[in-house]
Amino acid sequence: MPYPFLKHPIDFGDVHSSEEVIKSTWNDFRDALKNREFTYEEVSKATASGFLKVFDELFMLCTDRFECSLKNVERNSYLKRGSILAETEAVDYERFLPKAEFITQSNRFSPVGVEWLYLAVSRKETRAEECTIKECRASSGNRFGICTFSIKREFENKKIIDLTVADDLTYEQINSRLECTYKEICRARFIRSRRRGRAAAITVAENNKIKNAVEDWAFKTYLKLMSEQIFKPLEDTDDRNLMYAPFQCVAQYFLDKGYSGIKYKSTVCESAKDIVLFDKTYAHPVGDIKDFII
């Protein structure tokens, strides 16, 4: 028997309008940092309004959906770090560890001189290595080194934030999951109503199920919008310090909450992800170092 009322009444909204809102609030966030309304370390001021306020509300609602252990990050994946090498320099593990004296430019999530560990991650070794080359902006003729890293056993249960959860989903797939849950609950209520001869109320379990589905939809939609609209490669003319300031404030937000790092979309390599660890000792170099000319 058909269920004519099961065509879902959910309005998923205009994605393009949402994209513009994300970009606008992010730009306002960057301008506030530029105008010294607060520094990247003043998280409480940053969460009072604008982009980080909205993000904080979503994070508080969906905290567990953001979290991932370092053990899970490394499972069935390769962690790699690369560097452009001088023609005659000797290379060992130390060459691939971050050192403050050599960090003379801002990185995406950390300012000058901060020794956070950035790694490329992929289930395919070649893709992780390709990501390191692109992240270093290496070119043909460069001598290049690639080192494999492994999470130290004593730190594998440390939690990081995964901002890539929705990267491989389409908006249609995200919407469909909520739609299917809605239809499933409507169908169950219809069957109960027909058996009882009167309209059946929604159960506590059904209410919790649709609540979780809506939260998951909002979480994934927002993360996908954020990943697409914010994680963009820098142009040569961009002010690196200014463009990275909002990311550094976001990193401080997570650091203040006790997390150990962030997994995020690579802006230069679609086939891999990046992670940044707030303590460089959480992972260590292992295996042979690849040393070659691109």
Determine the average pLDDT of the residues in 89-96: 94
Determine the average pLDDT of the residues in 11-25: 76
pLDDT tier for residue 50 given thresholds of 50, 70 and 90: confident
Res 196 pLDDT > 90: no
- pLDDT (0 to 100) of residue 55: 93
Backbone CA torsion sign across 178, 18, 172, 74: negative
Residue type, 22: I
Question: What's the pLDDT tens digit per position in 94-134?
Answer: 999 999 999 999 999 999 999 999 999 999 999 999 999 99
How crowded is residue 96: how many other Cβ atoms within 10 Å of its Cβ? 21
Dist. CA 66–CA 160, nearest whole Å: 8
Dist. CA 139–CA 147, nearest whole Å: 18
Contact between 171 and 272 under an 8 Å Cβ cutoff? The reply is: no
Contact between 121 and 73 under an 8 Å Cβ cutoff? The reply is: yes
Long-range contacts at 238-246 (CB < 8 A, ≥ 24 apart): 240/105, 240/106, 241/106, 241/111, 242/30, 242/33, 242/34, 243/30, 244/106, 244/107, 244/108, 244/109, 244/111, 245/30, 245/33, 245/34, 245/40, 246/26, 246/29, 246/30, 246/33, 246/40, 246/51
Write the CB contacts of 30 (distance below 8 Å, at least 6 apart in sequence): 242, 243, 245, 246
- pLDDT: which is higher, 17 or 151: 151
- pLDDT (0 to 100) of residue 10: 54
Dist. CA 77–CA 290, nearest whole Å: 18
Res 4 pLDDT > 60: no
Question: What's the pLDDT tens digit per position in 238-260?
Answer: 899 999 999 999 999 999 999 99
Contact between 146 and 290 under an 8 Å Cβ cutoff? The reply is: yes
* Mean of pLDDT over the chain: 91
Q: Any idea what the Cα angle at residue 220 is, between residues 262 and 210, rounded to 5°?
A: 130
- pLDDT (0 to 100) of residue 236: 78
- pLDDT (0 to 100) of residue 152: 97
Residue of 107, 149, 129 lying closest to 280 (CA atoms): 149
